[in-house]
Amino acid sequence: MISISSATYNSPADGDDNAFGVVVDGDGNIIVTGSSSNGTNHDYYTIKYNNDFSLVLASATYNGPADGDDYALGVAVDGDGNIIVIGYSHNGTNHDYYTIKYNPNLSSVLASATYNGSANGDDYAREVAIDGNGNIIVIGYSHNGTNYDYFSIKYNNDFSLVLASATYNSPADGDDNAFGVVVDGDGNIIVTGSSSNGTNNDYLSIKYNSDFSLVLASATYNGSANGFDMAYGVIVDGEGNIIVTGNSFNGTNHDYYTIKYNNDFSLVLASATYNGPADGTDVAIKVAVDGDGDIFVTGYSSNGTNYDYYTIKYNNDFSLVLALATYNGPADGTDVAIKVAVDGDGDIFVTGYSPNGTNHDYYTIKYNGSPQIFSLSPSFGRPGETLDLIINGSNFYSGADISFSDSGIIVNSVNFISAMEIRANITIAQAVVPGNRDVVVTNIDEARGVMAGRFEIRENIGYQVEADFRLVKVSPRIFTPNGDGINDVANFIFENSQNEEVTGMIFDLSGSIVRDVLVQNSDTSLMWDGRDNNGNIVSGKVYIYQIKAGNKLLNGTVVLAK
């Protein structure tokens, strides 16, 4: 993955600013939320950027009435582009869930909701999801008077009604902390987090029906070292499979650990572990999936001294790491990635916080996804030419391949210049049918970008079709080489007023020579009997003829019907 743009936010108070959530709306705009210093404590702070961070479109701050620490942890966008931000807000004594729904430009609060648990302790909302009806699901953990339980709430779209809720307290009656939520295509709600087993904590994922009235399935993961295993993120792929990520204790420290289940947790389809080269603590926080089913995991990984953002792109069964991205900020401090999102173009967005030498700033990166081609220079070539082709676009990887639709163009070399430019040296076969070709860039992760029909092969100016040498006809153009003497040969009849030597060849559609010398039938005709240089009748259907006289050339196609 290659960073193609990024954004930093440092509050006017120049205190700690920590981004915790990112989402992309239907127009490709990027919304980042988190907690920002106001000089005394922290407020929710949400920013909406255009799709390359070149413009801040809008922003919004929330400072609760108690003027205490307010931390935004998650953000989502509904079908109307409204922006929902969740987190926890200080009520003067402790913290409550606090959820805000803004209009698309963050200029108006459309609705809000607070949840203060029955024990009147700290209640921490951690993530938000929106179902197909625009209902809003907020999950986190709520104090029960002794410890914490998973607590999930489903609101209607303006918070005027609590539609349902669910609490989970493990049999060990220890701390149970929910961190991730997703809604599947059937409206079922999957919640993941960390649950007490009496000694330490395990991953615990629960699949509820749409109103929390039924636990459809659940899954626990306790790593082999029997230490603390903390699940933080969950996502559902296009087939309904459930992917959970977090960090698992390996006996010394923690590693990323990601599991892919089928849709009812009855089967582990695949899993992946990441232990960084420094063999320190590696903490995966969130997971995303793209339209191809490829899986993105982000978090922070030890570099031996501190931590860096570390994002991995896997294929859909973890058998292949498709791409990696690390970010170590200029202050060389602890850089913590918290959230990953993927847009419809396959571009990847990672947000978190990075030290600036004094405190932390929001830091959000846009990485390339599928390659795109914007322009070619030159946009055409001629048979027999070798030329340098400049391909401008975005999301190119080092090691990308270049290819063309149809045949007759050989790629001699590919030179990666940047994520925005690739240069290829190409040769156009002498025997090639003029016309337009698609250009294809294929990244090392197999993501493809296509510019359809934009590279043109024109008639060769080195071999002009002139009045003193022209093709009269091919007779017949469609022929049957069966040896019966009737329509079993193709005659290429031409005018050659300068009496120059005329030669002819036949090529297949890949540009390979099939017959290198056509038979001279008369002074104004060459003949092909449908056979190759070995005397065998060819097996294909469409072939290219090429007839030369001096520096002049005639070419086209001829068809075998047999």
Are 265 and 214 in a shared domain? yes
Are 412 and 521 in a shared domain? no
Tell me the pairing of strands 201-208 and 189-196. antiparallel
Give the count of beta carbons closer than 10 Å to the beta carbon of residue 292: 16
Of residues 97 and 369, more confidence is placed in 97
**Mean per-residue pLDDT, 174-178:** 94
pLDDT band at 321 (very low <50, low <70, confident <90, very high): confident
The predicted pLDDT at position 468 comes to: 66
- How buried is 103 (Cβ within 10 angstroms: 0-12 exposed, 13-18 middle, 19+ buried)? middle
Q: Phi and psi of 491, rounded to 5°?
A: -105, 130
Residue 70 sits at the vertex; the CA angle it makes with 68 and 72, to the nearest 5 degrees, is: 175
Domain end residue (candidates: 457, 483, 516): 457
**Mean per-residue pLDDT, 72-77:** 97
At 527, list the tokens: 């003949």
Are 86 and 133 in a shared domain? yes
Cβ within 8 Å of residue 511, ≥6 positions away: 407, 408, 410, 429, 430, 431, 432
366/414 Cα distance (integer angstroms) = 25
CA neighbor of 376 nearest in space, from 352, 354, 399, 402: 402
> Which H or E run contains 47?
strand 42-49
Is 358 within a domain? no
pLDDT band at 484 (very low <50, low <70, confident <90, very high): low
The predicted pLDDT at position 141 comes to: 97
pLDDT band at 163 (very low <50, low <70, confident <90, very high): very high
Q: What is the pLDDT of residues 124-144, one digit of tens each?
A: 999 999 999 999 999 999 999
Q: For the chain, what is the domain count?
A: 3
Domain end residue (candidates: 430, 457, 484): 457
Are 433 and 519 in a shared domain? no
Q: What is the pLDDT of residues 259-285, one digit of tens each?
A: 999 999 999 999 999 998 888 999 999
The predicted pLDDT at position 483 comes to: 61
Is 27 within a domain? no
Is 543 within a domain? yes
pLDDT band at 499 (very low <50, low <70, confident <90, very high): confident
Is 61 within a domain? no
The predicted pLDDT at position 476 comes to: 79
Domain end residue (candidates: 435, 457, 479): 457
483/221 Cα distance (integer angstroms) = 74
The predicted pLDDT at position 83 comes to: 98
At 193, list the tokens: 């987090």
pLDDT band at 35 (very low <50, low <70, confident <90, very high): very high
**Mean per-residue pLDDT, 66-93:** 95
Are 212 and 264 in a shared domain? yes
Share of the chain residues as helix, strand and coil, in percent rounded to the nearest 5: 0, 55, 45
Give the count of beta carbons closer than 10 Å to the beta carbon of residue 45: 26
Is 73 within a domain? no
The predicted pLDDT at position 488 comes to: 80
Q: How far apart are the first and last CA of the chain?
A: 51
Q: What is the pLDDT of residues 292-308, one digit of tens each?
A: 898 999 999 999 999 99
**Mean per-residue pLDDT, 140-155:** 96
Is 311 within a domain? yes
Are 388 and 316 in a shared domain? no
Mean pLDDT of the chain: 90
Are 427 and 398 in a shared domain? yes
The predicted pLDDT at position 372 comes to: 80
Q: What is the pLDDT of residues 329-355, one digit of tens each?
A: 999 899 999 999 999 888 899 999 999
The predicted pLDDT at position 6 comes to: 94
**Mean per-residue pLDDT, 60-87:** 95
**Mean per-residue pLDDT, 151-167:** 97
pLDDT at 554 over 80: no
**Mean per-residue pLDDT, 446-458:** 85
pLDDT at 464 over 50: no
Which single residue is written with the structure tokens 């993501």?
447
The domain spanning residue 428 has which CATH number?
Answer: 2.60.40.10
pLDDT at 72 over 80: yes
Are 382 and 332 in a shared domain? no
Of residues 369 and 462, more confidence is placed in 369
**Mean per-residue pLDDT, 420-444:** 89
Is 365 within a domain? no
Cβ within 8 Å of residue 339, ≥6 positions away: 19, 20, 21, 22, 285, 286, 298, 350, 351, 352
Are 195 and 238 in a shared domain? yes
Are 151 and 299 in a shared domain? yes
The predicted pLDDT at position 485 comes to: 54
The domain spanning residue 490 has which CATH number?
Answer: 2.60.40.1220
C-alpha distances in angstroms, 235 versus 330, 333, 476? 32, 30, 63
The domain spanning residue 171 has which CATH number?
Answer: 2.130.10.10
* Percent of the chain scoring above 70 in pLDDT: 95
Peptide bond before residue 476 is cis, with ω within 30 degrees of 0: yes
The predicted pLDDT at position 509 comes to: 66
The predicted pLDDT at position 460 comes to: 65
Are 395 and 482 in a shared domain? no
* CB contact at 8 A, 188 and 164: no
pLDDT band at 487 (very low <50, low <70, confident <90, very high): low
Residue range(s) defining the domain that contains residue 154: 78-347
pLDDT at 377 over 90: no
Is 272 within a domain? yes
Are 210 and 281 in a shared domain? yes
* CB contact at 8 A, 225 and 219: no
